[in-house]
Amino acid sequence: MDVEDLKACATGCSPPGVEKVQFCPFYTMRDYQEKSDLVLLPYNYLLDPSSQLLKPGSLANSILIIDEAHNVEQVAEDASSFELRQMDIGRCINALGTLAEMISRKLAVPETDVSDSNRKGSSAPPVSVAQLLLLQQSLAKLDEWMSEFELSAPTENLRHPHALLSLEEVTEAFTACSDLSRTRKSEAPASLIDDATPLFSARGKPLLDRLLAACMQALQDEGAETEAHIEKHVNSLDNLRRIFNVWICIHAFEVKNQSLSPVS
Per-residue pLDDT of the chain (264 residues; tens, 9 = 90+): 677 777 777 777 656 666 667 788 778 877 887 788 888 888 877 777 666 666 656 777 888 888 878 888 888 777 777 778 889 999 999 999 988 888 888 877 765 444 444 444 445 667 888 888 888 999 999 999 988 888 888 888 778 888 888 888 888 888 888 886 655 444 445 444 445 578 888 888 888 888 898 898 888 887 766 666 788 888 899 888 888 887 887 777 677 666 555 544
Q: List CB contacts of 160: < 8 A, sequence separation 6 or more.
A: 154
pLDDT of residue 186: 46
Model-level pTM greater than 0.85?
no
Neighbours of 134 (CB within 10 A): 22
pLDDT at 73: 83
Residue spans per domain, the chain: 3-80, 86-110+122-184+192-259
Q: Which one-letter amino acid corresponds to residue 219?
A: L
Q: What are the phi and psi torsion angles at 166 (to 5°)? A: -80, 160
How far apart (Å, rounded) are the C-alpha atoms in residues 110 and 231? Answer: 28
Between CA 102 and CA 125 the distance in angstroms is 10
Q: Which helix (H) or strand (E) holds 35?
A: helix 25-35
Whole-number average pLDDT of the chain: 76
Own/partner pairs for 216-222, CB < 8 Å, 24+ apart?
A: 217/126, 218/99, 218/102, 218/103, 218/125, 218/126, 218/127, 219/95, 219/98, 219/99, 219/102, 221/125, 221/126, 222/99, 222/102, 222/103, 222/106, 222/125
Task: Give long-range contacts, CB 8 A cutoff, 24+ apart: 117-121.
Answer: 120/225, 121/225
What's the confidence (pLDDT) of residue 32?
A: 80
d(CA 19, CA 21): 6
Residue count of the chain, please give it: 264
